[in-house]
Chain A
Amino acid sequence: METFLVFTIVGLSLAAIYAVISSGLVLTYATTGIFNFAHGAIGMLAAFTYWQLRFDWGWPAPIALGLVLLVLAPAFGLLLERVVMRGLVGTSEATKLVVSISLLVGTIGLANLVWEPGKSRPNSKFFDGERLDLGVTTITYHQAITIVTAVVVALGLRFLLYRTRIGVSMRANVDDRSLTLLNGARPDRIALLSWAVGCSLAAVGGILIAPSLSLESASLSLLIVNAYAAAIFGRLRSLPLTFVGAIVIGLTEGYLAAYLPSNQYLAAFRSAAAAIILFLVLLALPNPRLRTRSHLREFFPAPSTSGMAMLAGGVVVSGVVMVTTLDSSSLITYGQIFPLAIVALSLVPLVGYAGQISLAQLSFAGVGAIAAAHHGQGGSPVGILLAMVFAAAVGGLVALPVLRLSGIYLALATAAFAVALDRWIFNLPDFDIGPVHVSLFELGSTSIDPLSVFGYEFDTRGSQVILSAVAFAVVALLVAAVRRSPFGRALVAMRDSEAACATFGLNLMWPRLAVFMLSAAIAGLGGALYGMQLGTVSPERFNLVTGLPLFVLVVVGGAGLVGAALFAGFSLYGLIPLTSALGTLVAKINTVTPGLTGIGLGRNPSGVLPIIQRRMAPLRADTPALIAMAGAMVVAYVLRLADVIANWPFVLLVAVAYVVASEVARRRFVASLPVPAAGEDPDDLEWVGVTVPWGAAHLARMDEALALDELDLDHPAPVGAAASRVAAVTAVREPVPPAPSFEKGGVADA
């Protein structure tokens, strides 16, 4: 009984923290439509800041708390809303998701930049863990404060939402945004307030839980999984149900701590419990309506044969160049580009074509690595084959129950699965299911033998890198071929309108399942090759947080383009180590770069690659410039092979060759454009803005031309809130039904 009471209190204080964090999450999601994956990371940042003020600098607790909770956290929320979130209005759910995941990645990077990871940071509970005697049991002051805080937050939110003017308009905003707008509410103010309050609540939770865990950026940020689980109980809308969810999860964790038999199979189960509950609750969600009228701004053209040939050839050539120029330690670093680019490639059919989301691709890669380790002994190709088969099977197994979900729910389900694997399954010792013996990472790390085909053994680093590069090229061609097949066309069709596809007689289940399994199989292949290059693999190589930057960068590159996978692999595992080698300052900045790249996505949802392609178009069309560039690069390569120049000058020469060639091609392209004939008015209004910059004088001339100069026009036209209000009013009014017209047919003829 004593144990029961003690752990009930432990569970309730956990529940209180989850409730506080998840209520902030629900508040911002419900009022602004943005599901903030970085919510936990914001709490983590607050916990670190509080630690800095309170324990490192020795400030008194009330002042440190006041500064963090009432000034810094709300200010951070306001900043986020103004700089990042406001630009996301009207973008697709996937874009919003990627931006908030980028924010998570960036925030973890920022924390690691300021507070060097791995150092011990003593952090004590409030009142140093002193206890209060309740008669039947005792409770620490910290627990008591935590529970009281949750009650205060609940009452405070109730007061805010029901008794204040802005709170009422926040609730109205949840119900019907455009109606609220019509009634004169200020959506920008609502958003600012909810981000400020949301960030403060995240900060409260982060500070309260930090002493019970260690101050570690990734694990504190992932605490959010527990809060997500609570928020899903309330379907991301209802605060009371969210509190109920928090209590269920907190008590479950408390009682598991008390009563779970401690053996090596269940030791890590407790930390995965919330993720498993999250997965189960998602299964119980009702069927969402089929996706219709997505109006996505993203557009990805089908890959062209010449483009794909260039990409595949270029990858193999750069693999060969790397192997012949780099020493073996650099090859370890840069060799990762290709296998991880294959993992990134697995996202192209799934995210780019089908518009589904999976955050568990690196977990599937882990499954592939395990299969290659245990079935590829002696270099047997069966290992690679089974890596793909097992990964596809696990992918299918995860996907099957959650396929009907989409958007953030699918993202959450796959994230929950990844967390359950990271924290529990991947750390299990060998076990038997009936006659099947299952062996995973064998409680630490497991070694993978190099592949051997027809007696040739890929046992050198160089041969392994080239193997991965060739594998990437082959899979890239395959993924491009999928896009041009009937299956690929059906996938991009489903992305826009599932409803329309279903009315053609398509059972949506099969293509969804097939694309998930295909994607997992590709990730499994990448994982197997990655493991082979590493020699030994351990679970932390394949965890959720490691996989997030890869996901973000594929989407930033342009998820529907095969090149985006190469872009992601090259940026993360090529460019970042390369530039980090320039100096410690760059290396420090690079910890936040992957996160920052995703934040600009709202402006350009089709990604970076189309912009690069546009820039490269003149060069691609200019054969002499291409040949000259290739020639210069070959010369540089020969000089490097002859050891006339070192690696850095070689990289520099190759870069210069590209820059010069593309500049020459651009100039030749511009020169080839038709010049306006002499005597043509350069200020011809039709060409203003194209050939000459737009100015106020042109506006006047345009008014004159349209005979509007006699009207008293107030330039510029209504902007911002006023314009959107006008638009909303006109959008709400339906066209008047036309009266029946009996001119043709009908009575007159009868």
Chain B
Amino acid sequence: MLDVQEVSVRFGGHLALDHASLQAEAGQITGLIGPNGAGKTTMFNAITGLLAPTSGRICIDGQDVTGLKLHRRARMGLARTFQQLELFSMLTVRENIRVAADIRRRWARDRSDAGALTDAIIDQVGLRAVADERVTSLPTGQGRLVELGRALACKPRVLLLDEPASGQDDAETHRFGALLTELAAEGTAVVLVEHDMALVMEVCDRVHVLDLGHMIAVGDCASVQTDPAVLEAYLGTSRAPSDIVDVTTGVEA
């Protein structure tokens, strides 16, 4: 569905992404993890078109979209949330989602009722109780749900989520995980950037690991967790990978 091929992004002298590749399949949740500053958000910005990559190709459904503008890519079924919230401060929760639904309705030439879609999404993401509050009065966790709701209002085929669970408590995170699984089951290709490893390991089908702009590992959850390069990136080189597996899981001890 989404195929990022050897993309590099350079900020002045700093290479934020260095020939990094990523694939996300429809109906699957693809994790993208890595320490702070690894280039995860840069990857999302390059995919959506907020940044122009220095080299490499981005394809959706086999079609090269590297040169397309943001809104063209969005119309191909790409939607995202932002790590640092981009909510519309003058509008309520309902109106925030409605804006996205109205915009999609226009370019998709869809005559269906945007209000009904908005209501359905509010229930789906669980914002019914605060639907008519101004977004600026919400805690961050619910703000992230508003962003997810807006992305869903675009009926995306590829959904990029940038740390959607930060600011949520355990119960909320758990419900959120179930929601993601549900979305994937409907055929959406979900790409999840997240620091909450429990959530990543619970819901992801495949995980990509970025470190300092390099894609250092790709695989299913189990293989990535034992990958020496991944452990080194996260925990440093002072301890041998085998020790760490011992300590954290207690399985092999």
Contact = CB atoms under 8 A, between A and B. Distances in A.
Interface of A: 289-290, 292-296, 299-301, 486, 489-490, 492-493, 495-497, 499-508, 560, 734-735, 737-748, 750
Contacts of A560: 90
A299 B91 CA distance: 9
Interface string B224-245: 0110001100110000000001
Interface in B199-253: 201-202, 221-222, 225-226, 230-231, 234-235, 245, 248-251
Contact of B198 (A496, A503, A744): A744
Contact of A497 (B86, B134, B225, B231): B86
A502 B70 contact: yes
Considering residues B82, B90, B153, B154, which has the most beta carbons from chain A within 10 angstroms of its beta carbon? B90
Contacts of B70: 290, 499, 502-503
Considering residues B80, B98, B198, B235, which has the most beta carbons from chain A within 10 angstroms of its beta carbon? B198
Interface in B83-122: 84-91, 95-96, 98-100, 102-104, 106-107, 114
Q: 7 closest pairs, A vs B, by CB?
A: A505-B74, A502-B70, A486-B102, A745-B201, A497-B86, A500-B86, A493-B88
Contacts of B230: 740
Given A489-B95, A500-B82, A745 B88 contact: no
A95 to B, nearest CB: 15
Interface residues of A, dominant DSSP: loop
A742 B90 contact: no
Considering residues B48, B84, B104, B201, which has the most beta carbons from chain A within 10 angstroms of its beta carbon? B201
Given A493-B99, A496-B86, A742 B91 contact: no
Contact of A746 (B89, B196, B201): B201
B197 A740 contact: yes
Nearest to B89: A496
A741 B98 contact: no
B99 A490 contact: yes
B104 A504 contact: yes
Interface in B58-75: 69-71, 74-75
Interface residues of B, number: 60
30 contacts: A290-B50, A292-B82, A293-B85, A293-B86, A486-B106, A490-B102, A490-B103, A499-B50, A499-B82, A500-B88, A503-B151, A504-B154, A505-B75, A506-B71, A560-B90, A738-B196, A739-B234, A740-B225, A740-B248, A741-B248, A742-B197, A742-B201, A742-B225, A742-B248, A744-B198, A745-B202, A746-B222, A747-B225, A747-B226, A747-B245
Contacts of A500: 82, 86, 88, 150
Contacts of A489: 91, 95, 98-99, 102
A612 to B, nearest CB: 20
Given A503-B48, A504-B74, A505-B71, A743 B198 contact: yes
Contact of A493 (B48, B91, B226): B91
Contacts of A742: 197, 201, 225, 248-249
Nearest to A296: B89
Given A504-B104, A740-B197, A292 B86 contact: yes
B126 interface: no
Given A290-B50, A497-B88, A505-B75, A741 B198 contact: yes
B249 A748 contact: yes
A750 B249 CA distance: 11
Contacts of A289: 50
Contacts of B150: 500, 504
B35 interface: yes
Contacts of B248: 739-742
B36 interface: yes
Considering residues B35, B84, B136, B249, which has the most beta carbons from chain A within 10 angstroms of its beta carbon? B249
Considering residues A293, A505, A748, which has the most beta carbons from chain B within 10 angstroms of its beta carbon? A505
B79 interface: yes
Contacts of A493: 88, 91, 96, 99
Contact of A496 (B50, B69, B87): B87
Given A492-B91, A745-B221, A503 B99 contact: no
Given A505-B71, A508-B71, A750 B91 contact: no
B79 A504 contact: yes
B103 A504 contact: yes
B195 interface: yes
Considering residues A295, A299, A735, A741, which has the most beta carbons from chain B within 10 angstroms of its beta carbon? A741
A299 B103 contact: no
A405 B153 CA distance: 29
Contacts of B231: 740
B61 to A, nearest CB: 16
Contacts of A504: 71, 74, 79, 99-100, 103-104, 150, 153-154
B74 A502 contact: yes
Nearest to B78: A503
Contacts of A503: 48, 70-71, 74, 78-80, 151, 154
Nearest to A501: B103
A450 to B, nearest CB: 41
A298 to B, nearest CB: 8
B81 to A, nearest CB: 9
A743 B234 CA distance: 16
A744 B195 contact: no
Given A504-B153, A505-B154, 10 more contacts: A289-B50, A292-B82, A486-B102, A499-B86, A502-B49, A503-B48, A503-B154, A504-B154, A505-B75, A745-B202
Given A506-B103, A734-B36, A496 B197 contact: no
Contacts of B95: 489
A293 B143 CA distance: 13
Given A500-B82, A501-B103, A747-B249, A741 B197 contact: yes
Contacts of A495: 88, 90
B195 A737 contact: yes
A299 B134 CA distance: 11
Given A503-B70, A737-B36, A293 B80 contact: no
A144 to B, nearest CB: 44
A204 B248 CA distance: 71
Nearest to A292: B86
B86 A746 contact: no
A294 B231 CA distance: 38
B195 A738 contact: yes
A493 B101 CA distance: 13
A579 B75 CA distance: 57
Nearest to B48: A503
Interface string B11-32: 0000000000000000000000
A508 B74 CA distance: 13
A299 B90 contact: yes
Contacts of A508: 71
A742 B235 CA distance: 13
A504 B147 CA distance: 11
B71 A747 contact: no
Contacts of A490: 99, 102-103
A735 B36 CA distance: 9
A734 B84 CA distance: 14
B78 to A, nearest CB: 8
Contacts of B103: 490, 501, 504-506
Contacts of A750: 222
A506 B106 CA distance: 9
Nearest to A299: B90
Contacts of B196: 738
A480 to B, nearest CB: 14
Nearest to B90: A492
A742 B221 CA distance: 10
A82 B112 CA distance: 57
Nearest to A297: B89
Given A490-B102, A502-B71, A742-B249, A737 B201 contact: no
A75 B176 CA distance: 60
Nearest to A747: B249
B50 to A, nearest CB: 6
Nearest to A485: B102
